[in-house]
């Protein structure tokens, strides 16, 4: 069985539909501007968030469930599967 990678690339985040969120040094109180990625599921109040560019090791990103650092994704295939499953199963009463 092929071993899964232990990181996600920035391009994979973009390809999965994550949006870049830029934060200025002035906004954050940090010395430098930085950014992270987020994925918001429509109409369900659930989001995924990446580590920041300052925390990532070169092009190695991780993704967490927003406000729950116990759910961590370290490879693109698991993350893609989760996104597809949630999007497929969102039912909104109209």
| Residue 22, in any domain of the structure | yes
| Residue 1, in any domain of the structure | no
Section 72-80 average pLDDT: 93
Q: What is the pLDDT of residues 8-63, one digit of tens each?
A: 999 999 999 999 999 998 888 888 889 999 999 987 888 999 988 766 556 789 99
| Residue 4, in any domain of the structure | no
Structure tokens at 83: 């996104």
- Domain extent, residue 59, equals 10-88
| Residue 49, in any domain of the structure | yes
| Residue 93, in any domain of the structure | no
Cα–Cα–Cα angle for 84, 17, 47, nearest 5°?
70
Which of these, 49, 46, 50, lies nearest to 89 by C-alpha position?
Answer: 46
- What pTM was computed for the model? 0.81
DSSP-derived 3-state class of residue 37: strand
Q: How many domains does the chain have?
A: 1
Long-range contacts of the stretch 26-29 (C-beta < 8 A, 24+): none
């Amino acid at each position: 069985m092929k071993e899964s990678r232990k990181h996600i690339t920035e391009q994979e985040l973009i390809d999965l539909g994550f949006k870049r969120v830029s934060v200025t040094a002035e906004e954050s109180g940090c010395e430098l501007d930085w950014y992270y990625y987020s994925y918001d599921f429509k109409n369900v109040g659930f989001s995924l968030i990446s580590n920041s560019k300052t925390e990532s090791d070169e092009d190695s990103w991780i993704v967490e469930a927003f406000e729950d650092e116990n759910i961590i994704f370290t490879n693109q295939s698991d993350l893609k599967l989760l996104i597809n499953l949630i999007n497929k199963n969102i039912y909104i009463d109209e």
